[in-house]
Amino acid sequence: MNKLSRLTIVTMLAAPLLSACSDEDSATVEDLGKLTPDEHVFGQATGNFSAEEWFPGGELGTTEKASYSSPAPALASISGMEEDFNVGEDFFEHLYTIDQAPRKGLGPAWVRSSCFHCHPSYGHGKRQTEYRANTVGNGYLLVIYHPQEAFTSDGVRYTTEASGYISEVTGMPQTQAMQPFKAPIDENQIQIQWKNVEAMPSGLPMTFPDGEQYALIYPEVTIPTSAFNTSPKPSDYEVRLESTIGIYGTGLLDAITDEDIEKQWASEARFVDMNPNMWDKAAGTFKASAYYSAAYNNTGSFHGDHGPLKRFTYAMTRGSLQDGAGSNAVWNITNVTRSDRHFLYTTPAWAKAMSEDPEVISYIKSHGSSPLSPLYPYYADGTDEGIKTRVNEILSCSSVAKKSTFDKYLFEGAPYNGKDEMSDKQYYQFMVWHRGLAVPAARNLNDPQVQRGKQLFSEIGCAQCHRPSWTTGSDNMWVDAATKAYADANGLAKDGDYTKLLPKYPNQTIWPYTDMVQHRLFMENDIRTGWCRTTPLWGRGLSRRLTGADDRLHDCRARTVTEAIMWHGYSKQSQGYRAAEKFYKLPKEDRHALVKFVESI
């Protein structure tokens, strides 16, 4: 992006006109008077906002543009990084295909055919009334699990931490597959029904005291057993939806230190329950399970005896952006092979079902004999039995433990011939883009209504969980093997410091409005286990303008900020109940001020 200093503009405005040779000006021009410089409020302290609050991503992580796709200023400090950012962006912005580099992947099963399908205009997913993998804007992942139920004191059913995912399909279930394979789930059979809340169990009325009404809706999702193309088919399960959130700013969240997040958990643990899978209540520290490790890389030894703190996704399942949600998604959503992931995102139950399907076998038999065909690896000796065995062998390569089988039968032979679909350099460029996305600057902070909103946000307790500000650490992040391999091959980190290859955000004061803690709101048909990381609020106010929608909460059930807030008050046991109750009791103009604040930060 081209940046222009304000000085240049002032000079332009003041400069004598260059001689214009356009011919019509003198005859037809309507004199509108000269442009004069506007009062400069951006970046200045105003009311109860400090100057730095205009820059939610700090100096290195904020764009002054109203944009979710801008490169952060941190990129400018490293020569050539903007070019890598642009190439990396392309992996996000365009469709993946089965056999055309550089966006090549998809087989044998996939969740979406591009990143932007789930992140429309780089933003939050949009509320859907049906589940279609090919609808751009459908940011939903299906969450299918065995429910272990419990109830709040006011009778809201929820599912506990013991509610594990079903094992027949992948954690992010696929509804698309390369012919002749059948998608693990037939999406035509998925039903999404939107239901109305008639009354909240907490007793908070659905009309504000001044008469203004609000409405709450929530999804009920069902998938019949017949929709599963697996063997065996799952039983005793229920389904929820989890939507994408924006991508910008994740590099900044990664730069907050584990220790600072632990302090935040410790301070809140004195007052509220914490997720027992993450927090050791007796010791007042994170449990070992709160730190990330993966069988296919060395994240687990990043801090000697433990890995980086899990901090990404609603369920806080991934730590280090280099092996975070985006790093994972560009591999498993579009099903792209790369050097650090020589296995498939599949399940043995799907492999078995496909290998036992006569239609699959006969199609491969008649179309898989050419070494140019993507079905060639499954063709084996061309007999029914040979194809059946090979299909099962390949499709069940569902973990790094099966790497040798994956390499032998799928990767080394035709048509892949030992070439990863995403090269180390391409993955590096993708991560430069991912880590380098800036947070948009705050807006309207000089507006007295927004300033009033800020005051209320703090007074009624929103800021207790939506913690306004953090200061990042030195940002010496874990670096993945693909980036290191690319650096080594090109002599880019001879001193052993690979972190300098990626955008870094050291010592930045940032304003994400999250405490990086999981809370439970106990909403109807709530998220699996109920525990959900407080979602950052920065930049969300631009969503309507930049993406055409502003759906909120984990399954897009809230259509406005007000609805999102009132969902916090559904159950009296909700950790956000008190704040929601106070919001409910605010005069109308104060509610609107608070909403305007949330839309400005």
27 makes contact with another protein (CB under 8 A): no
Report d(CA 387, CA 368) in Å as an integer: 10
Nearer to another protein, 32 or 295 (CB): 32
Shortest CB 4 distance to another protein, Å: 5
Cα–Cα distance, 532 to 526 (Å, whole number): 10
Q: Which of 119, 70, 112, 120 is nearest to 95 (CA)?
A: 112
Residue 562 binds to another protein (criterion: CB under 8 A): no
Rounded CA-CA distance 156/569 in Å is 12
Measured from the CB atom, the residue of 46 and 113 that comes closer to another protein is 113
Tokens encoding 69: 């796709």
Out of 282, 283, 295, 372, which residue is the one contacting another protein (CB under 8 A)? Answer: 372
Distances (CA, A) of 487 to 32, 194, 320: 56, 50, 19
Q: Which of 56, 58, 73, 137 binds another protein (CB under 8 A)?
A: 137
Is the CB of 101 or the CB of 162 nearer to another protein?
A: 101
Among 32, 282, 283, 295, binds another protein (CB under 8 A): 32
> Binding residue for another protein (CB under 8 A) from 14, 41, 51, 101?
101
Nearest partner of 48 among 537, 449, 515, judged by Cα = 449
369 binds another protein (CB under 8 A): no
Closest CA to 332 of 524, 449, 184: 184
Q: How many CB atoms lie within 10 A of CB 294?
A: 17
Residue 12 as a binder of another protein (CB under 8 A): the answer is yes
Residues 176-235 that bind another protein (CB under 8 A): 178-179
- Three-state SS for 194? strand
Q: Does 351 bind another protein (CB under 8 A)?
A: no
Vertex 388, ends 382 and 393: CA angle to 5°? Answer: 110
Task: Report if residue 10 touches another protein, rule: CB under 8 A.
Answer: yes
We find the least distance from the C-beta atom of residue 436 to another protein, in angstroms, to be 13
Q: Which of 293, 297, 328, 426 binds another protein (CB under 8 A)?
A: 426
Contact call for residue 174 and another protein (CB under 8 A) = no
To the nearest whole angstrom, how small is the minimum distance from the Cβ of residue 482 to another protein? 12
Task: Indicate whether 86 belongs to the interface with another protein (CB under 8 A).
Answer: yes
Beta carbon nearer to another protein, 100 or 226: 100
Q: How far apart are CA 460 and CA 466, in angstroms?
A: 12
Helix (H) or strand (E) holding 596: helix 588-598
Only one residue has tokens 């809140």, namely 268
Distance CA 244, CA 313 (A): 9
Residue 1 touches another protein, criterion: CB under 8 A: yes
Bond before 180 cis per omega within 30 degrees: yes
Q: Which of 62, 69, 396, 398 binds another protein (CB under 8 A)?
A: 69
* Near another protein in 35-64, by CB under 8 A: 35-39
Residue 588 in contact with another protein, rule: CB under 8 A: no
* Binding status of residue 132 toward another protein by CB under 8 A: yes
* 25 near another protein (CB under 8 A): yes
Q: Which of 92, 122, 378, 531 binds another protein (CB under 8 A)?
A: 122
- Would you count residue 429 as binding another protein (CB under 8 A)? yes
Q: Specify the residue, 475 or 551, whose C-beta has the smaller distance to another protein.
A: 551
Q: Provide the 10 A C-beta neighbour count for residue 189.
A: 15
CA pair distance 483, 252, nearest whole angstrom = 19
CB of 221 to another protein, least distance (A): 20
Which helix (H) or strand (E) segment is 109 a member of? strand 109-110
Q: What is the DSSP letter of 383?
A: S
